Amino acid sequence: MTAVLRWYMALQYMASPVPDRELKKGSAELMILSLLENRPRHGYEIAQLIELRSRGAIRFNVASLYPLLYRLEKRNWIRGRWVEKAGQRRRRYYRLTASGKNVLSKQRAGWREFVEAINLITGIQRA
């Protein structure tokens, strides 16, 4: 991911004044949707994966992750379900819905185009 975008994301999720709300929201949604593409996960697992795969660049605050999950659920892009596994307390797992898959593929395409456009304008090479 480009340095510019990394900077944007870090700003958003380190709770500093936000430069572009839509851009941040859009990328966060894309991340969550793509993490749920292969299997259902609970909130903490999603947060951990994002931090791990972004090598700590992006960290989700509980106060912003869960409202985001609830927003996606309200749009019927993901669906949450309480699951009780043997020997564990119950957890709320989220999975991608059919319309969520649809949105994910569109957002991926849109994001790819956006990144290429920025690269062309700024002359930044792909990371």
Q: Is 7 in the site for another protein (CB under 8 A)?
A: no
Task: Select from 3, 4, 70, 127 the one that contacts another protein (CB under 8 A).
Answer: 70
At 118, the amino acid letter reads I
Contact between 118 and another protein by CB under 8 A: the answer reads: no
41-42 β-sheet, strand order = 41-42, 91-96, 78-83
Is 68 one of the binding residues for another protein (CB under 8 A)?
Answer: yes
Q: What is the Cα–Cα distance from 52 to 79, expressed in whole angstroms?
A: 24
By rule CB under 8 A, what count of residues binds another protein?
19
51 Cβ contact list (under 8 Å, min separation 6): 58, 59, 60
Q: Does 64 bind another protein (CB under 8 A)?
A: yes
Subset of residues 77 to 116 that bind another protein, contact rule: CB under 8 A: 89, 91-92
Q: In this chain, which of 4, 15, 83, 127 binds another protein, going by CB under 8 A?
A: 15
CA atoms within 13 A of residue 102's CA, in its CB half-sphere: 6
**33 to 62, contacts with another protein by CB under 8 A?**
42-44, 47, 61-62
